Amino acid sequence: MLASKTPAPNNLPIGTGPSSVARLFRERVAPCGLEPLRQLEASVDAKLAAVRELETVSADRFPQQFATVLRGVLSVRSYGPRIVAETDRSGVQATVQAAREGYLGPAQLTEVADRLAGAPEEVRRDVASELLHGAAPDRVALLARWVWNPSRRTGVLSELGAPTADSYVHAQARLGEIRLELGALGFPCASFTGVDVVLALTYAARLQLATDGQLRSGGLEALLPGGYPLASMILGVRRQVFDADR
């Protein structure tokens, strides 16, 4: 059984300097208004609800539901059918239940990934992160590789003015601090999905800088038409359409 008798820790305090995420939000996102971000956050919330439905879905509907969840994980790509076919249904359902009840968190992410099958380890870790985050988005942050890669010490988190994380628990703690900082800036996050959105927009901007040479001045509109849809793709909700002018 994956669950222990002691609930997993939430956000452990660590010392950091001023947050680059906070500066980015204040200088580039806040001037454009919060509505586009809330639209994207709502779509991520809806996507993560599909994870929680895995816990109680019937055996005959589980493969389709699990496939839906996997389509929301950027790195899964063609591995989806194999993961569905080779991963034990009861293990996935037990994972979602244990995470929802507070018995699984970042410290157990590698263990959860080991219970999955049908894909390389790094992809299974991304799926494990999605399961934990989706089961308890108010408590567990998204720890996919584009956020923080433990093997290479890369990801958008490592570029945001924070000390380099050395574990999933440490990365979670930093994301908890960012969540508080965003609330202080006028973007309160009822769960970690708000943090997901800001990180995805930051990552999209970084990718644009790498391909375009420089980002045009301005707020969120500087990320259009490339970065905002790109952030939606990173978050696994690229089928949604967002109007940044609303």
Q: pTM (2 decimals)?
A: 0.83
Does residue 104 have a pLDDT over 70? yes
Any domain includes 225: yes
Triad 151, 114, 171: Cα angle to 5°: 40
Mean pLDDT of 146-172: 84
Any domain includes 48: yes
**Of 129-133, 167-171, 238-242, which one has max mean pLDDT?**
129-133
Q: Where are the alpha helices (DSSP H) in the chain?
A: 20-24, 35-53, 62-71, 80-86, 89-100, 109-114, 121-135, 168-184, 193-212, 227-234
Any domain includes 10: no
- Total count of domains within the chain: 1
Any domain includes 244: no
Any domain includes 95: yes
Higher pLDDT: 47 or 202? It is 47
For 206-237, how does the pLDDT look when each residue is reduced to its tens digit (9 = 90+)?
776 655 544 444 444 444 444 667 888 889 98
Beta bridge partners of 154: 149
Any domain includes 173: yes
Q: Domain residues for 43? A: 20-234
Any domain includes 90: yes
Does residue 68 have a pLDDT over 90? yes
- Cβ 131 vs Cβ 76: under 8 Å: no
pLDDT at 233: 86
Percentage above 70 pLDDT, the chain: 75
For 21-37, how does the pLDDT look when each residue is reduced to its tens digit (9 = 90+)?
677 777 666 666 788 88
Any domain includes 239: no
